A and B are shown apart, each in its own frame.
Chain A
Amino acid sequence: MTIVSEHAELNEHLNAYLDGALDPAPLRRLERHLESCELCRADLDQLRLTRDALRALPALRAPRPFTIPVEMAPAAGRPAPPWLAWTWRLGSFAAAACLLLAVVSSFAAAPGGTSTALSDGASSGAVQPQRPAALADRDSAQRAGPAPRQPNAQPEQAAAPSAANPAAPGSAPAPAAGGGIGGGSGGPAPPPAGFAPAGATDAGAGAATPAAAGPGARAALSPDQPAAQLAPAPSDAQVKSAPPPPPPPGATPWLALAAVLGAGSAALFVVDRRSRVRDP
């Protein structure tokens, strides 16, 4: 290697040398070269001054906080876990399936009898798969006359007028939320009503537990329930003027299952929706 080319090569190492980033072998060669090469020494001085000048630049302070708006995050602070969406969808589907089974079994038990209301509910459940949760609750409520007399009837009454079906006060919290938000059919329901104005978290928590569907489920499960008690207690305007006739015995387990699944799905739907409020 000629002196010239060695100078050219080692000169390129000066900055790495300044930064202590030179491997031992080239480092030794450069240090030896620097002893004899005035040019490289001058170069090194200039580069060191340049580096020192750069280092003299002060750190800057942010002129304002760059924090992101918290609204960008989900309200609960965490996004809904993906299984939640699948669970309520699956639950709704299962509830619709149960309703269908109830129809089938009611036909089997009493063909041509009392199937109009049932098939009505079941078919709309099948046509509008995003609404079966609300439908199931409505159906269960219609067959769960005693439900309105449960102790926490007050928030239900508050939410009931906003429900699509005013004849279903017993299952108000869950279907009000499900019907108002999910079905998109909650025309008369103002958006906040979907979140149960009488203490959103309370109502939500109440609806979230399967026990909320308890009265309806229990009423439907007891086959010895007198038909007279199935008449809806409140005297609100009723969509169906006559109280629905008692379901045939073969359909009741399926109806109960549909009610439980529907209520559970509606509750999960609400939880899922509320954790996705980031989309305005």
Chain B
Amino acid sequence: MSSVDDDGPALAAARHGDAVAFNRLVLRYQDAVYSLCARLTGNAEDAADAAQEAFLSAYRNLGGFRGGSFRSWLFRIAANCAYDTLRQRKRRPADSLDRPRADDGEGETPALALPDPGAGPEAATLRRELEALIQRGLLTLPEDQRLAVVLCDLFGYDYAAIATDTGVELGTVKSRINRGRRRLRDFLLTHRELLPASYRPTESPGVEAGPAPSAPP
């Protein structure tokens, strides 16, 4: 993660129309932007389209960048592009990020994860299945919650950074993550059989798996 200072010189040049300097920023952020788009759309093709559109849009609108974190600004654009792409395509969830990999088991799909040298083939399969399931779960979340959860749990940003990125109050971020993660938990509970044992939530006392409004004994 680059700080504002790292972005400063390239950003200053890019704002004067230096496309080469802007492309340095693209190369710095393209993995993150693509990841974000991929998790929000659940689709490699849409993610690539959205990421490309996000960078083009960012370059065109650099004049509107009012300082602060370039990454935040870029992420906001990327999230909008991702959801726009999703709305335009109206793809079925089955056309998802994980499907090509589930089909051929080979790593030549565009959505290939970073290689994990430590994992054996079995672990890799498990990881892939889990990934597919969670990605499906993410797509069941409302857009606001999906973005908040992705930024928090996949990008590791704290609530304050997410508030900045998404332009909402801290309390809103807290509420979105709370509701989003609970909804995802419910989704995973309904697909427990697909989960690797180590990620399988037990259904012990909280059988209802909701916000559990029932009174304790």
Interface residues of A (CB under 8 A from B): 3-4, 7-8, 11-12, 14-16, 19, 21, 37-40, 42-43, 45-47, 49-70, 72-74, 77-79
Counting CB contacts under 8 A, is B16 at the interface? Answer: yes
The 8 A-B pairs of least Cβ separation, nearest first, read A73-B19, A63-B110, A54-B153, A58-B113, A67-B23, A62-B34, A62-B30, A46-B201
Contacts A67-B27, A68-B19 aside, 15 further interface pairs with beta carbons under 8 A come to A8-B211, A11-B212, A38-B205, A50-B184, A50-B188, A50-B201, A53-B188, A53-B195, A57-B135, A60-B113, A62-B51, A63-B44, A66-B52, A77-B20, A79-B17
Contact segment of B2-10, B83-91, B174-182: B174-182
Establish whether residues B26 and A67, one from each chain, have CB atoms under 8 Å apart when the complex forms: yes
The distance from the CB of A22 to the nearest CB of chain B, in whole angstroms, is 9
Q: Supply 19 A–B pairs (Cβ within 8 Å), ascending by A.
A: A21-B174, A38-B216, A39-B216, A42-B205, A46-B202, A50-B184, A54-B149, A56-B130, A56-B199, A59-B32, A59-B154, A60-B35, A60-B111, A61-B113, A62-B31, A63-B34, A70-B19, A74-B17, A77-B20
Establish whether residues A7 and B34, one from each chain, have CB atoms under 8 Å apart when the complex forms: no
| Mask: chain B, 27-67; 1 = CB below 8 Å from A; 0 = not | 10011111100110000100110011001100100000000
Question: Is the interface on chain B under 10, 10 to 19, 20 to 34, or 35 or more residues?
Answer: 35 or more
Counting CB contacts under 8 A, is B158 at the interface? Answer: yes
Q: A7-B215, A39-B212 are in contact. Are A46 and B206 (CB under 8 A)?
A: yes
Q: Which residue of B lies closest to A67 (CB)?
A: B23
Establish whether residues A68 and B202, one from each chain, have CB atoms under 8 Å apart when the complex forms: no
C-alpha spacing A45/B199, complex, angstroms: 11
Q: A3-B215, A54-B184, A57-B131 are in contact. Are A64 and B48 (CB under 8 A)?
A: yes
Establish whether residues B184 and A45, one from each chain, have CB atoms under 8 Å apart when the complex forms: no
Counting CB contacts under 8 A, is B134 at the interface? Answer: yes
C-alpha spacing A79/B62, complex, angstroms: 13
A60 surroundings in chain B (CB, below 8 A): 31, 34-35, 38-39, 47, 111-114
A43 surroundings in chain B (CB, below 8 A): 206, 212
Establish whether residues A65 and B27, one from each chain, have CB atoms under 8 Å apart when the complex forms: yes
Establish whether residues B55 and A68, one from each chain, have CB atoms under 8 Å apart when the complex forms: yes
Q: Which residue of B lies closest to A63 (CB)?
A: B110
Establish whether residues A51 and B181, one from each chain, have CB atoms under 8 Å apart when the complex forms: yes
Establish whether residues A77 and B205, one from each chain, have CB atoms under 8 Å apart when the complex forms: no
The distance from the CB of A77 to the nearest CB of chain B, in whole angstroms, is 5
B158 surroundings in chain A (CB, below 8 A): 19, 21
Q: Which residue of A lies closest to B18 (CB)?
A: A77
Establish whether residues B134 and A54, one from each chain, have CB atoms under 8 Å apart when the complex forms: yes
Establish whether residues A66 and B19, one from each chain, have CB atoms under 8 Å apart when the complex forms: no
Establish whether residues B211 and A11, one from each chain, have CB atoms under 8 Å apart when the complex forms: yes
Q: A21-B158, A66-B52 are in contact. Are A53 and B174 (CB under 8 A)?
A: no
Counting CB contacts under 8 A, is B73 at the interface? Answer: no
Q: Which residue of A lies closest to B51 (CB)?
A: A66
The distance from the CB of B173 to the nearest CB of chain A, in whole angstroms, is 9
Establish whether residues A68 and B27, one from each chain, have CB atoms under 8 Å apart when the complex forms: no
A64 surroundings in chain B (CB, below 8 A): 48
C-alpha spacing A277/B131, complex, angstroms: 47
The distance from the CB of A50 to the nearest CB of chain B, in whole angstroms, is 4
C-alpha spacing A127/B154, complex, angstroms: 66
Most buried by B among A21, A45, A50, A58: A50
The distance from the CB of B169 to the nearest CB of chain A, in whole angstroms, is 13
Counting CB contacts under 8 A, is B99 at the interface? Answer: no
Establish whether residues B153 and A61, one from each chain, have CB atoms under 8 Å apart when the complex forms: no
Establish whether residues A68 and B189, one from each chain, have CB atoms under 8 Å apart when the complex forms: no
Counting CB contacts under 8 A, is B75 at the interface? Answer: no
Q: Which residue of A lies closest to B174 (CB)?
A: A16
Establish whether residues B181 and A47, one from each chain, have CB atoms under 8 Å apart when the complex forms: yes
Q: A21-B159, A60-B38 are in contact. Are A70 and B112 (CB under 8 A)?
A: no
Counting CB contacts under 8 A, is B213 at the interface? Answer: yes
A56 in complex: contacting residue of B23, B38, B127, CB < 8 Å: B127
